[in-house]
Structure 1
């Protein structure tokens, strides 16, 4: 993948992470919403190829949005409630961040072998 293509994909993956996180936070109080809030980003992380340009921006967008939404609002209440569902969502955010970082390709590591060789 050329550098120009990578630069074009990066904002899209970042935006996808932000939109998915907003949906996850909106639904995490419902039992089925919490399952969906954790399963959808996890499946997306597994489907995206590892790398600086694809998986990491998605994970950072998701984690940054969830982190931003944990800050108390001016009224004094929180978007992510203090309860089991909120803690599961925060634990998922940490797991997604670690997953995005751990799966980065190592410097100097050979790339994937083309099919048919």
Structure 2
């Protein structure tokens, strides 16, 4: 049974003493920002350049070149993530990297590839994609100066 009396503290009118909260839209709901778009395009181009450089370095000095190429890729992906503060910061250079590596993987009509051997090819492709996924799925970056909300801190 419900009574027609309002509950204690509830008048049915909106609260007028509550502070206005302006919550900015994030992700796909955020308005387009030309600087952010330019930064993402720049990261994608930089990812393509790192992919091309890694493609050329990894077969030349096999174990060391492969590690150098993967470290450069990891640095770019993680740096993009930190710079932008979102997952798209890691995805944009990873997309540029992957496109350039796939295009170079196609080879020439004569049948030769830019990549040296099959082992280096597999390690470079799988390692680079694994690093891209790891950097894109990292937990949120900690905000400097943010209160943790724990009492007594």
* TM-score when normalising by structure 2: 0.61
Q: Which segments of 5 or more consecutive residues in structure 2 lack a partner in the other structure?
A: 1-25, 27-31, 148-153
Greater radius of gyration (CA) = 2
Q: Which segments of 5 or more consecutive residues in structure 1 lack a partner in the other structure?
A: 106-110
Q: Which runs of 4+ in 1 moved over 6 A?
A: none
Relative contact order: is structure 1 or structure 2 higher (C-alpha 8 Å, sep ≥ 6)?
1
Q: Alpha-carbon deviations, 1:10-53, whole Å to 9, x = none?
A: 11101100111110000001132111101111122222225354
What's 1:4 paired with?
34
User: 97, 114, 133: which one pairs with 1:79?
Assistant: 114
Q: Distance in 1 between matches of 2:139 and 2:106?
A: 29
User: Superposition RMSD on alpha carbons, in Å?
Assistant: 2.6
Q: Which has the higher helix share?
A: 1
Q: Does 1:115 align with 2:135?
A: no
What's 1:21 paired with?
51
